[in-house]
Amino acid sequence: MNVHSARELARVHQALAEPNRIRILKMLEIRPLCVCEITAVLQLAASTVSKHLSILREAGFIVDHKDGKWVNYQLNEHPDPKVVGTCFSHLARLLTNDETVLSDAEKVRSVDRHQLCK
């Protein structure tokens, strides 16, 4: 669905108005991740990461799936509202050379929830 009001559109952009949330979306471009993996990369409290994820979920950017004691988050393949989808395609082209994003990507590739969580 299209966004209906300036207020709704503002909320979508608000979700992207925080660097750590952008880093999370760039990480999820690589693969679905659970909260503890994201927490390990961002070096924030788990509760903080959980909050960021709920903001991204409510804005329509990501969806979650339970997997035992883990919760996997991934990019929403059927973005709603539509503007979220266009944000995705920009995001995919942006920050491809950003140091932090590149280093996050490397950590994503090496991180493993089974080693992480004892």
Partner DNA sequence: ACTACATTTAGGCAAGTATCGAAATAACCC
Partner DNA sequence: GGGTTATTTCGATACTTGCCTAAATGTAGT
Is 6 a binding residue for a copy of itself by CB under 8 A? The answer is: yes
3 binds, among DNA, a copy of itself, none (CB under 5 to 8 A by kind): a copy of itself
Stretch that binds DNA, among 53-61, 81-89, 91-99, 100-108 (CB under 7 A): 53-61
Stretch that binds a copy of itself, among 7-15, 33-41, 43-51, 108-116 (CB under 8 A): 7-15
Of the two residues 4 and 118, which places its CB atom closer to a copy of itself in the complex?
4
Is 52 a binding residue for a copy of itself by CB under 8 A? The answer is: no
How far is the C-alpha of 20 from the C-alpha of 17, rounded, in Å?
9
Helix ranges restricted to H, 1-118: 6-15, 19-28, 35-42, 46-59, 82-93, 99-110, 113-116
Cβ neighbours around 102 below 10 Å, total: 13
Residues numbered 23 to 52 that lie near DNA (CB under 7 A) are 34-36, 39, 44-48, 50-52
How many residues bind a copy of itself, per CB under 8 A? 28
* Sheet with 70-75, edge to edge strand ranges: 33-34, 70-75, 62-67
